[in-house]
Amino acid sequence: MKRKNVTIEEIAKAANVSTATISRIINNKGNVTKETRNHVINVMNQMEYKPHNLHPLSDPESRIILICVPDFRNPFYSQVIDGIQKAAHEEKYNVLLLQSSDYYSRIEDFAEVFKEQSIAGIIILSSVPESDSELLNDLSLRCPVVMCSEYAENYGVSFVSINDVSSSEKAVSYLISTGCRKIGLLNSLTKFKYARHREKGYRQALTQCGLDCNENWIAHISSISYDVAYSTAMHILQLPNRPDALFCCSDVYGIAAVNAAKVLGLRIPEDLSVIGFDNVDIARMSHPALTTIAQPMLQMGYQSCSLLIEKIQSPDTPDRQIILNTELIIRNSTKLPVERVGQ
């Protein structure tokens, strides 16, 4: 259904609310609950309706794309940004990087950025918790938006990502195939979509093989920090009943776990197997080199930027969701599968 053919009455009927409620939401006036507002805006996006009187943030004539990055310390983002820049350069766009962290949580925060700089659209690498979905609703109505890696699970914005659940199942299942039975998890905070999904895959793999999930072996770390991950791994590996393997949701965590184990006199992989996630450069520089799940980081950035440019140049382009494949890269931080030992 084309936007120009959709009326407020049709939106109200589809959302099961009054036209007065639709008007209050469009004009940002009157009392409307957060749940109703988010529901109505989701319906507007599904029906490809964009209010004519909603003040836009973006400038379609601009040649600048804004990239919202949560934390520049995470090496994962380096190749993603390279991919974005490659696609932008090919179409003669430039990129502007913004460390969003928790500093940009309101539409007014982004309005200030747009006021200072003419911007064509936004690529968001930050997580968008369900509690902040109103911000994503407002942004997507006012300018072209594409999410990369992270995405809002209950909102139909365009994104490029991976299947974190199946990727994590693949990693943990491999550990099980090598004879590991006591598998721990170094994870990020579950406010992040990737952390929730990777933990889900971890738990599913254990359940499918009839293995217990020991909550003492699971840690949630507040940032992609080597130091915090190292201290956490030291604690878990000194438990009386320690794990014989760790699945880590980041290569930074994985290398921290390897180094903590070596300090404690544990052999890698004989006493402890470790799998990371991302396949950033430091994974192969580690000693031993880190087994990991490889994300197509460059491709992820490139495709997200291509999607955004398509939306900038053709505003009626429907939202698309792209899931890319991952690969298990086997190195020396894990043992061989049991059936291959001795062959």
Report the CATH number at residue 104: 3.40.50.2300
Q: What is the pLDDT of residue 268?
A: 98
Percent over 70 (pLDDT), the chain = 88
Let me know if residue 51 belongs to a domain: no
Are 124 and 147 contained in the same domain?
yes
Distance CA 289, CA 90 (A): 35
Are 95 and 175 contained in the same domain?
no
For residue 261, what are the domain limits?
A: 164-296+328-340
Let me know if residue 53 belongs to a domain: no
Q: Is the pLDDT of residue 342 over 70?
A: no
Are 204 and 282 contained in the same domain?
yes
Show the DSSP H helices in the chain as ranges: 8-15, 19-27, 34-46, 76-90, 107-116, 133-142, 164-177, 193-208, 226-237, 251-263, 281-285, 297-313
Q: Is the pLDDT of residue 114 over 70?
A: yes
How far does the chain reach from its first CA to its final CA, in angstroms?
Answer: 60
Let me know if residue 282 belongs to a domain: yes
Q: Is the pLDDT of residue 2 over 60?
A: no
Q: What is the pLDDT of residue 177?
A: 97
Are 170 and 289 contained in the same domain?
yes
Are 176 and 288 contained in the same domain?
yes
Are 94 and 130 contained in the same domain?
yes
Q: What is the pLDDT of residue 1?
A: 37
Are 119 and 195 contained in the same domain?
no
Give how many domains the chain has, as a whole number.
Answer: 3
Q: Is the pLDDT of residue 86 over 90?
A: yes
